[in-house]
Structure 1
Amino acid sequence: MSGAGARDRDPLGRPRNARPRDEFGRPLPKGTPGVARVPDDYAPSAGRALADAAAYLDEGRPFHAHEVLEARWKTGPERERPLWQGLAQICVGLTHLQRGNARGAAVLLGRGATRVSEYAAGEPHPGPPDLAEAVRVARCLADRPPDDPADAIGRVAVVLKSG
């Protein structure tokens, strides 16, 4: 496909979104300066992904934390995929909180909690993070989003560092 509606693709044909993003992960018009993104070829270890995601959350950047966790799910062992997808969904839920979309936040926080819970039920996990606490915090935030998104982001950052 070519033309104005064509999607950005990597050399293997996988879709990529090269559009710049604002600090909340919202796409900006092409050619507009945006904030730095997680590189497409980033392939972190589990420990590096958790540390980097927690660091982004400490900076108030859950969209970027989601990109880190998404990179791990795409490059890590297949059996861990639900874990990393769930943690990434929790961070997308936080992104929705930042953007003022409480309903979208609740849906994604709940989905992330479910996916992490399903993974935790079937896989031994030495930690960090404390998966039961990740599920508890995500479900609590889904049920009662705080007025201040920074509070929710901070709570998830603490969980990613727990073990």
Structure 2
Amino acid sequence: MSDRFRIRPATVEARQVQGSNDGSAALELATWCGGWCAGAHREPKIVLPAEDESHSVARVGDWIVKDGGGRFSVVRGDVFAEAYEPAIQQPLHGFTRGFRLHTADGKVLDGAQFPSSRAVVVDDQEWGLATAAVSVEELLKGLHGARIEWPGEQGGDGAEDVVGDADA
């Protein structure tokens, strides 16, 4: 058996201890982890209880980590920065990214891009006909003069950005 091991990737919740003028940040953090506050508002200490009557103390800059089993531990700020990275947030609902495709002749068609980068656009809503491609870029290659409008992206003039002009 090997004497080398690596930690399996896991997603954890973590919050950093920070000072505040009124102590509310420390109190909120202590409530979250079931601990209690000690120290001054700007230099709080969060005390985490343990099953064996010992206590862990988190200071400003430290992180309190909640593992998958609901257990809390203290991780020093420098160790946390070296060992952890932000988890990618998945959308709560759905798995596609919608868009509108503006054709050269003025039609506006609904489309979607999947996590695999594949794209589909509904050409004829009455008959349910659609065009699909391995990517939005490939979809645009077959539709000369078409452009993609992604919702929520704002341009400098306050209008939504329209990107991916097929003739560009």
What TM-score, normalized to structure 1? Answer: 0.20
What TM-score, normalized to structure 2? Answer: 0.19
Which has the greater radius of gyration?
2
Higher strand share: 2
Q: Flag the structure with more relative contact order, 1 or 2, with Cα contacts below 8 A and sequence separation at least 6.
A: 1
